[in-house]
Amino acid sequence: MVKPVTEKFEELVLDVEFDPVGSPGVYTRICGILDATVTRTANVDTSEVPGDCDDESVPVSVERQVRSIEVTVSGTGVWAQQSQGKLKNWFYSAATLNTRVRDTNAASGDTEVESGPALLTGLTTGRTKGQKVSAEIEIQFDGTPTRTAAA
């Protein structure tokens, strides 16, 4: 029996190039985001195709084809002062920023980095008496991210 190789919390990394003009290529983790979920979705179109051209009593066949692929990242955690200005500036600018998701424990040849321009489409904060202020983010890649394999 072979035991699965798993990934630790700190080996799935979300980081953003917050200052592409002043510091191009410098990526920063979003401080305070403790939970992150990466969702990869294939948007599928469905067509009904005749099951038999000569016998219309035969049920049609349902065929599907991928129309597009989208990748989003949602995260939750606490509202950290270190990221507050960066996140608000990103949201209100409506700009795309280079973003990447890294699986730092990826096996050689497997996808280690998914990267590309992305939009911050959701920025939510909340408070509960006795608790730290909470934060939720939603990031959507603009197009299909570029995949880079682990060495």
Give mean pLDDT, residues 50-65: 95
In a domain, 48, yes or no: yes
Say what the pLDDT of residue 22 is. Answer: 86
Average pLDDT, the chain: 96
Domain membership of residue 28 (yes or no) is yes
pLDDT higher than 90, residue 10: yes
38 contact partners, CB below 8 Å, separation of at least 6: 12, 71, 72, 73, 101, 114
Backbone torsions φ then ψ of 15, nearest 5 degrees: -145, 160
Domain span including residue 92: 9-149
- Model pTM? 0.90
Q: What CATH number did the domain enclosing 37 receive?
A: 2.40.30
Q: What is the mean pLDDT of residues 140-145?
A: 98
Distance CA 140, CA 62 (A): 30
pLDDT one-digit tens code per residue, 95-108 = 999 999 999 999 99
| 110 within some domain | yes
Q: Is residue 115 part of a domain?
A: yes
Residue 3 lies in a domain: no
Residue 21 pLDDT grade (very low, low, confident, very high; cuts 50, 70, 90): confident
Residue 27 belongs to a domain: yes
- How many structural domains compose the chain? 1
Residue at 2 is within a domain: no
